[in-house]
Amino acid sequence: MTEPTIADVRAAAQRIGPYVHRTPVLTCTALNAMCGAELFFKCENFQKAGAFKMRGATNAVFSLSREEAAKGVATHSSGNHGAALSRAARCRGVPAYVVMPVNAPEIKKAAVAGYGAEIVFCEPTLQAREEKLAELVGRTGAAFVHPYNDPRVISGQGTAALELCEDIPGLDAVITPVGGGGLLSGTATAVRALSPRTRVVAAEPEQADDAFRSLRAGKIVPAEKPDTIADGLRTSLGSLTFAIIRQHVEEIVTVSEQAIVEAMRHVWERMKIVVEPSAAVPVAALLGRHQRFSAKRIGVILSGGNVDLSRLTYFS
């Protein structure tokens, strides 16, 4: 696998344009005051299927040849990537197969099934998941689309930052959450080329800080029992995402679980938009009012808005 370039990100933007939203960039006076900086929120919570994952999945599906695509696409995911790949396959009119643990939340199963994908259940272990996926790919010939460690996926995720740089020139920094690193490495690829003086930083839960530790160690340190409300960030970096992040990302800030929940509440209350815990992680970092963000113009990628509202008392 080779690292994607800005040309790949631009090609992805062309390719996925008809199938995804160009999401708005919102501002919020109250949050600016609370963070002591000027923030520009790229709202991927408004993206199709509710998260930036739609970009990478769509780019991967539409990068396949007609022959490849006809056999369908497959992945394992209990989160946003499964739903995004399912929708991307439906856009192209090809089958999708998603391996999910039997204990996945009903709302996630419903989202994948709602896009017409076939769910293949497995036991909730890494080994069972990989075996089931291999068996599935062997049987169907479907193309495997990894959730993040894939140059097509990374290029697609980079299109959010491409749009952000076009809409808001001259940012001092762009901050994203980091889980497997697809969004972060795509963002770094775009920002480094389009706006070389803009810093690329990431935010990560303290309780799932494998990217922070990997960057410090200079090698991939997998997450050990990640335990965070930010369910999208429990994964570990991949070989490709790590290589890109290592080159281009200046810093990873870690935040506590309490800071994540408080940041999520502030976004809901002040901006009147629904973001998922993973999306609140960079906001939590900014609310920490580190000196290095003070009075800066900062782009924040709000990664998604898929929250299980049955957990909220209003609705239960």
Identify residues 242-281 at the interface with a second copy (CB under 8 A): 261, 264-265, 268-269, 272-275
Q: How far is the CB of 243 from a second copy (least distance, A)?
A: 33
Q: How far is the CB of 212 from a second copy (least distance, A)?
A: 25
Cβ at position 261, least distance to a second copy in Å = 7
Quick check: 216 binds a second copy (CB under 8 A)? Answer: no
Task: Please select the residue that binds a second copy; options are 24, 116, 124, 222, rule is CB under 8 A.
Answer: 24
Instruction: Report if residue 187 touches a second copy, rule: CB under 8 A.
Output: no
Axis crossing angle, helix 257-266 with helix 277-287, rounded to the nearest 10: 100
Minimum CB distance to a second copy, residue 48 (Å): 9
- The Cα 19–Cα 7 span in angstroms is 20
Encoding tokens for residue 45? 């919570």
Closest to a second copy by CB, 119 vs 273, is: 273
Q: Min. distance of Cβ 316 from a second copy in angstroms?
A: 8
Q: Give the residue, chosen from 5, 34, 46, 140, that forms a contact with a second copy under the rule CB under 8 A.
A: 46
User: How many other C-beta atoms are found inside a 10 Å radius of the C-beta of residue 242?
Assistant: 23
Buried b (16+ CB within 10 A) or exposed e, 60-99: bbbbbeeeebeebbbbbbbbbbbbbbbbbbbbbebbbbbb
Q: How far apart are the first and last CA of the chain?
A: 46
Q: Give least dist CB 305 to a second copy, A.
A: 4
What lies within 8 Å, CB to CB, of 133 at 6+ separation is 74, 75, 76, 99, 144
Nearer to a second copy, 70 or 113 (CB): 113
Asked if 66 touches a second copy (CB under 8 A), the answer is: no
- We find the least distance from the C-beta atom of residue 274 to a second copy, in angstroms, to be 4
Q: Whole-angstrom Cα distance, residue 287 to residue 230?
A: 17
Q: Which of 65, 103, 239, 313 binds a second copy (CB under 8 A)?
A: 313
Candidates 4, 50, 180, 226; binder of a second copy (CB under 8 A) is 50
The C-alpha atoms of residue 313 and residue 316 are separated, in whole angstroms, by 5
Q: Does 144 bind a second copy (CB under 8 A)?
A: no
Nearest in space to 286 (alpha carbons), one of 22, 7, 28: 28
Q: Quote the least distance from Cβ 270 to a second copy, whole Å.
A: 9
289 binds a second copy (CB under 8 A): no
Report how far apart, in Å, the C-alpha atoms of 248 and of each of 133, 165, 200 are. Answer: 32, 16, 7
Q: Answer for the pair 264, 158: CB distance below 8 angstroms, yes or no.
A: no
Assess 106 for contact with a second copy (CB under 8 A).
Answer: no
Residue 310, number of CB atoms within 10 A of its CB: 10
Q: Where on the chain is the footprint of a second copy (CB under 8 A)?
A: 24, 45-46, 50, 261, 264-265, 268-269, 272-275, 305, 307, 309, 311-316
